[in-house]
Amino acid sequence: MADKFGHLPRGPGRVLKAAKWSIQGLAAAWLHESSFRLEVCLFVVLAPMGIWLGQTPVEQVLLVGVLILVLAAELLNSAIEAVIERFGNELHDLAGRAKDMGSAAVFVLMMNALLAWGLILGPRLFFT
């Protein structure tokens, strides 16, 4: 129950509820978003490779971390799209712009992942 300021109580119960809501969000993304499913499949393949190919803990964190950022951006993009669809299917410039910007955010982070993997692993593969 919220206090007089609208703050929910803190503690283990709140953390468990937040975790439950997060898992529900992941499940919804998996069920309804084909892009998210594809990116999770790529993560399942590439994350172990990143841990294996990274020579230092920093490299390992970078190789896996950029992949996690792509997943997070995809979740946010899907949330934006769901909210826009909630309010109607009619074309609107602002709705289109918001969807395009969400998609662009995912694209930018994918390019970031490609850059990180290329800069870390490229010299080993091509210059050894």
**Closest listed residue to residue 50, CA positions, set 122, 127, 117:** 117
The reply to whether 91 sits in an annotated binding site is yes
Among 39, 59, 74, 85, the active-site one is 74
The reply to whether 74 sits in an annotated binding site is yes
**74 labelled catalytic:** yes
The reply to whether 103 sits in an annotated binding site is yes
Give the span between the Cα atoms of 125 and 128, in whole angstroms.
6
**Closest listed residue to residue 74, CA positions, set 30, 106, 38:** 106
The reply to whether 31 sits in an annotated binding site is no
The reply to whether 33 sits in an annotated binding site is yes
Residue 97: φ, ψ to 5°: -65, -45
The reply to whether 85 sits in an annotated binding site is no
Give the span between the Cα atoms of 25 and 79, in whole angstroms.
9
- Which amino acids are annotated catalytic? 74
Which residue positions form the known binding site? 14, 33, 74, 81, 90-92, 99-100, 103
Which residue positions form the known binding site for substrate? 14, 74, 103
Which residue positions form the known binding site for ATP? 14, 33, 81, 90-92, 99-100
